[in-house]
Structure 1
Amino acid sequence: MIRKTRNASQLQEEVSRRIHRIHEIVEEGVKIRVPRPQKQEPDASGCNWTMKHFGNAVGYERFVGDVLTAVRAEYNLSDADEGKDIRGLFGE
């Protein structure tokens, strides 16, 4: 499967959105802190990023792991510097 490319903020938002849609997490009102994705050398599957150290996730590790596995299978982290892109919009 060919992965789509997203920047760090987009990947962080996607993982958070999926985690916070899970019935058990919604029902219990838990807010899990989702870290920024970290670039890595592509693994055996071809994914070039990972996330570690989710906050407030004790007891929900399986759900977090399932979401992370799914999103990593769909997306790769872009090489673009997010800050550079934003400054470019203002002609700096």
Structure 2
Amino acid sequence: MLRKLLNASRLQAEVSRRLHRIHEIVEDGVKIRVPRPQKIEPDASGCNWTMKHFGGAIGYERDIETVLKAVRAEYNLSDVEEKDGSSLFPGMPDPD
């Protein structure tokens, strides 16, 4: 399967979104801190990123592993970090 590309911020948000809709996590009122994805050499499956050191995750390791497995199968980490599109001066080019 061909993976879609996401930048680090969007990949982090996607993992967080999926984690925080798991019934047990919602029911327990837990807020798991999701780390930024780290670029790695593509593994045997072709995935080029990993995540380590989730915060507030004790007892939810299996849920995290399940979500990571699914997201890693769908997405690769893009080298380009997109701008958010907001500018202090609309209509003016960004300085960089």
* TM-score w.r.t. length of structure 1: 0.91
Tell me how far apart the structure 1 counterparts of residues 12 and 79 of structure 2 sit (CA, whole Å). 15
Q: Percent identity?
A: 75
State the 1:54 CA deviation: 0.3
The corresponding residue for 2:9 is 9
Q: What residue in structure 2 maps to residue 76 of structure 1?
A: 76
What CA distance in whole angstroms lies between the structure 1 residues aligned with 2:43 and 2:79? 16
Whose radius of gyration is greater, 1 or 2?
Answer: 2
Determine the structure 1 residue equivalent to 2:32.
32
SS of 1:76's partner is strand
Render the CA deviation track for 1:1-39: whole Å, top value 9, x for unaligned. 000000000000000000000000000000000000000
Unaligned runs of 5+ in 2: 84-92
1:27-66 matched pairs, under 5 angstroms:
27-66=27-66
Tell me the residue number matched to 1:90.
94
Paired residues in the alignment total 87
TM-score (norm 2): 0.87
